[in-house]
Amino acid sequence: MAIENLQKSEGITSHKSGLLNSHLQWLLDNYETAEGVSLPRSSLYNHYLRHCQEHKLDPVNAASFGKLIRSVFMGLRTRRLGTRGNSKYHYYGIRLKPDSPLNRLQEDTQYMAMRQQPMHQKPRYRPAQKTDSLGDSSSHSGLHSTP
């Protein structure tokens, strides 16, 4: 029923219906509903675009993909997470299936990100300490500076 509703609202022809079924199957194969978890909407859409590219499928735009997800996973909520000025929208109530190949894709991405970080940090320099203008450090016995 979700497919028919989406086809009517988006004006999808029978040719595109086969594509839509493969998109739906991909969603069902890789994601499942789960309470207390959230996924960034952008990462979900990026996974979808990668799937379309690998299988030479025409992707739908982000708005239509959002409708597709909501038709498959009923009761899905949206949350804006992150600090002010640095927030992202997340789908709340959906997660990657533990046996999904996308889990390995994320591990590979994290591994590559760690490998691309420099092995050592640049040395930090301390600002020069103010010196006593009198030159007599013994008169200020209560104040000792450490190098």
Model-level pTM greater than 0.85? Answer: no
- Tell me the pLDDT tens digit for each residue of 82-122: 898 888 899 999 999 999 888 887 655 554 444 455 555 55
Per-10-residue mean pLDDT of the chain, 147 residues long, equals 48 58 89 92 92 90 92 90 88 92 69 49 63 55 54
Q: What is the DSSP string of 37-104?
A: EEEEHHHHHHHHHHHHHHTT-PPPPHHHHHHHHHHHSTT-EEEEESSTTS-EEEEEEEEE-TT-HHHH
Position 126 scores a pLDDT of 66
Position 63 scores a pLDDT of 94
Task: Supply the CATH classification number for the domain 1-97.
Answer: 1.10.10.10
Position 1 scores a pLDDT of 45
